[in-house]
Structure 1
């Protein structure tokens, strides 16, 4: 295997492997370094296997409510081992798919742990293989796509032990079904796991230090989602802190401080930490190279440049939004700029959709209503409840809401926010609208198929104009 390349990508998650494929398409001799499994955290321990778990929970939910659809199912139950096995099988299938893509695109896979040393025209990449031996590689360009990992907060006594206090890894492969579960953090990761375990019968408590769950979402949407989660039995405590986790033999005690400042100690079978992530910047040699790091993330410009000759960074490593599709898009933009095929426009995070795959789902793109006002826009807001949508009612999914925010002066779509069935699929319509700079009038004059839940997207736009039809 060669030790000379046009591009070496470190990390094979959705950012890394997509970047490598695009580089190969552009004629670059490319290698990718991976210390664990191809596909990175997303395919093996994140995006994909969690959705497989949530699909099992969704099927169970439908089975439990079969009577609502005129069906009779005498007994509903689950096999935890089989649920986890299916999830792991899905992850394995996709990891093998990435392996095939690397071979198809003639990308060399370097198995091992990478570190960087000074070199020219880019830093040298030293890969320590599974045999413990170092091999030095030189490339014209190096792109870091090492991602991020779950965050601990030792000063608050929030540290995962892998047994009773879990990160997403342990939560994805549980050895037992906890009767009492505490989820600390109500971002997408925390809410998705809370939704899964709650549906499977765990008495689930979600604690959020902010004043509402899903705090990055539009306030109206997060309140709607909270209402639905509580209907399903989730206990949600906002404006609340957790500290001093003390694992025992089979249970964990947690000190919970409420809005009123009162502290109480509660006991749980398992705890899931979902309090954020930190970038994988350690042991890469970045400090010696002069790369700038802020709050565990590599600082880059809008094209992935780190300021170190020949060295670039993309994805979770560079900060929020911490999303797989953002990493892939950044990687393609970065490598196209390197190849002189870019469009000259910096990466715009406001056109990146965010999705939470709980029940109900939550999805959004662009500015929240609050953020739009803070930026000084004179806005028009449109809303449409799923209760006025025929397809949603037919599916038994009428508890949803679509909300859009326009610039009153120009008609620009500033933001779109949705909660309800399949909104993670529907949000892409608004993403395309923002990318294509469609106006309020463009969307109002668009024909939406009937009967579909997507009609709520049209009705919300019409509502912003004061001419909603079905409410």
Structure 2
């Protein structure tokens, strides 16, 4: 006999577990199905443990440059890879346990195993030992996330060619590394391993790194990474790998000319593929578009009572997008008033490289392409007292406004702590503030946030400190 629920959520990542908790808060009898780790990829193998690794790298960087702050570190500083990885895994485990506690607190039933839709609201959950549990619900949310994309000829083997998983738990530091792909994942690992003393080369198939970012920010990042010693090849495609006993030779097509680079390890960071296999979608009317489940903005698919949120439902592939999507979906199911679809142009993106990169909204080029007459403001970190005091004078804050209405179209930042600063512009953009509200907002001194104010002023020819 199937156990009945009001809502079953398949997948307990940032989209799934948040949706389950919100549903429970709204009085729904809720179950969440998870085949591996509560918290999903983000908490266990993505967002969180990578930030722990990067924190260790950041501290190593400060120790290396401590004399610039008047502090002498005597003796040799060594990097304990095993301890760094252990700390990262500990952080991930702590948060995964925290999700378990939150689900229990909200009386959400956790079903361990893989779920398959059987149609008519029925779900079969198969545990690792083969035991099958039948469940049923009027509403089913698919939040199964995504996995690393594998390109032909570049298949990860766990030893020489890594995905993010192997890159996160090295048993030793390689001497050299090639990172294929310069999105957030690729550049974060490049910066981490460079800080660990690895000779790193970045390869990107298009003509610039961080291709989703504003071109000016991409160029700034490329200059900063090159200064750190990271080698960058753009307009380049890895066409072949020769795998040796403990190294690999990459054949790279750069503008029609093939170059070879031999390294100890390769990280493949070339995008993701939605996890839709084995879900029983063939038993439903759910449609796919380029591998992702199609929904209507409220999570609803073409199959009544079946919804999809997060990475499995398409770009942007961000944990915070998934969480917010889950809440929208559940509140719509519950019939709450004033539930709105998500404006994806208001979703911030963050890259935790050295320096950090953050953005929201349209780039300068996309604003022009959309037909806007624009005003652009720029303010450099070197003009900010707090940035200089921190010893972080390299960076830029850029804002793009509609010249006719004063609407903030986009904001783009590179430099220390910009992943924290971007939320100020995100709130402003969500609230549809104009340049006037930003200009009349009092920013505290001395802070990095003052640059946000100055960038707005600069767009209108009123910058004070630069």
Matched with 1:174 is: 170
Correspondence list, 1:146-161, <5 A: 146-154=144-152, 157-161=153-157
SS of aligned partner of 2:8: strand
Rounded to whole Å, the distance in 1 between the matches of 2:96 and 2:242 is: 36
Q: 1:149, 1:280 within 8 Å by CA — same for their partners in 2?
A: yes
Matched with 1:72 is: 72
Q: Cα deviation per residue 1:234-263 (whole Å; 9 max; x = unaligned)?
A: 00111111121232211111101113x111
Correspondence list, 1:250-289, <5 A: 250-259=246-255, 261-289=256-284
Matched with 2:123 is: 125
Matched with 2:218 is: 222
Rounded to whole Å, the distance in 1 between the matches of 2:240 and 2:11 is: 35
Q: 1:148, 1:279 within 8 Å by CA — same for their partners in 2?
A: yes
Q: Cα deviation per residue 1:265-313 (whole Å; 9 max; x = unaligned)?
A: 2211000000000000101111331211122110111111111010000
Rounded to whole Å, the distance in 1 between the matches of 2:264 and 2:345 is: 39
Rounded to whole Å, the distance in 2 between the matches of 1:220 and 1:377 is: 19
Rounded to whole Å, the distance in 2 between the matches of 1:360 and 1:39 is: 27
SS of aligned partner of 1:14: coil
Deviation at 1:15, TM superposition (A): 0.4
SS of aligned partner of 2:51: helix
Rounded to whole Å, the distance in 1 between the matches of 2:123 and 2:160 is: 38
Correspondence list, 1:189-200, <5 A: 189-200=185-196
Rounded to whole Å, the distance in 1 between the matches of 2:303 and 2:253 is: 45
Q: Cα deviation per residue 1:96-120 (whole Å; 9 max; x = unaligned)?
A: 000100110000000001111111x
Of residues 203, 211, 229, the one that matches 1:233 is: 229
Matched with 1:32 is: 32
Deviation at 1:344, TM superposition (A): 4.0
Matched with 1:115 is: 116
Matched with 1:451 is: 446
Q: 1:405, 1:415 within 8 Å by CA — same for their partners in 2?
A: yes
Deviation at 1:44, TM superposition (A): 0.2
Q: 2:175, 2:199 within 8 Å by CA — same for their partners in 1?
A: yes
Q: 1:360, 1:419 within 8 Å by CA — same for their partners in 2?
A: yes
Rounded to whole Å, the distance in 2 between the matches of 1:243 and 1:296 is: 24
Rounded to whole Å, the distance in 2 between the matches of 1:139 and 1:379 is: 50
Correspondence list, 1:287-366, <5 A: 287-366=282-361
Q: Given the alignment of the two structures, is residue 384 of structure 1 paired with residue 382 of structure 2, yes or no?
A: no
Rounded to whole Å, the distance in 2 between the matches of 1:319 and 1:179 is: 36
Rounded to whole Å, the distance in 2 between the matches of 1:168 and 1:210 is: 21
Q: 2:149, 2:272 within 8 Å by CA — same for their partners in 1?
A: yes
Rounded to whole Å, the distance in 2 between the matches of 1:272 and 1:456 is: 35
Decide which moves more: 457-466 or 334-343.
Answer: 334-343
SS of aligned partner of 1:24: helix
Rounded to whole Å, the distance in 2 between the matches of 1:282 and 1:2 is: 23
Deviation at 1:37, TM superposition (A): 1.1
Of residues 431, 436, 440, the one that matches 2:426 is: 431
Matched with 2:7 is: 7
Q: 2:155, 2:161 within 8 Å by CA — same for their partners in 1?
A: yes
Rounded to whole Å, the distance in 2 between the matches of 1:360 and 1:85 is: 25
Q: CA RMSD in A?
A: 1.0
Q: Where do 5+ consecutive residues of structure 1 fail to align?
A: none
Decide which moves more: 34-43 or 245-254.
Answer: 245-254
Q: 1:333, 1:342 within 8 Å by CA — same for their partners in 2?
A: no
SS of aligned partner of 1:246: strand
Q: Given the alignment of the two structures, is residue 50 of structure 1 paired with residue 50 of structure 2, yes or no?
A: yes
Decide which moves more: 262-271 or 326-335.
Answer: 262-271
Deviation at 1:343, TM superposition (A): 2.1
Rounded to whole Å, the distance in 2 between the matches of 1:178 and 1:386 is: 34
Q: Given the alignment of the two structures, is residue 207 of structure 1 paired with residue 203 of structure 2, yes or no?
A: yes
Deviation at 1:131, TM superposition (A): 2.0
Decide which moves more: 295-304 or 377-386.
Answer: 295-304
Rounded to whole Å, the distance in 2 between the matches of 1:131 and 1:396 is: 55
Q: 1:191, 1:358 within 8 Å by CA — same for their partners in 2?
A: yes
TM-score, normalised to structure 2, is 0.99
Matched with 1:247 is: 243
TM-score, normalised to structure 1, is 0.98
Correspondence list, 1:76-91, <5 A: 76-91=77-92
Matched with 2:93 is: 92
Rounded to whole Å, the distance in 1 between the matches of 2:213 and 2:338 is: 30
Rounded to whole Å, the distance in 1 between the matches of 2:416 and 2:442 is: 21
Rounded to whole Å, the distance in 2 between the matches of 1:135 and 1:7 is: 16
How many residues are aligned here?
A: 465
Q: 1:60, 1:77 within 8 Å by CA — same for their partners in 2?
A: no
Q: 2:328, 2:339 within 8 Å by CA — same for their partners in 1?
A: no
Q: 1:292, 1:298 within 8 Å by CA — same for their partners in 2?
A: yes
Rounded to whole Å, the distance in 1 between the matches of 2:5 and 2:276 is: 23
Q: Given the alignment of the two structures, is residue 139 of structure 1 paired with residue 140 of structure 2, yes or no?
A: no
SS of aligned partner of 1:334: helix
Decide which moves more: 356-365 or 292-301.
Answer: 292-301
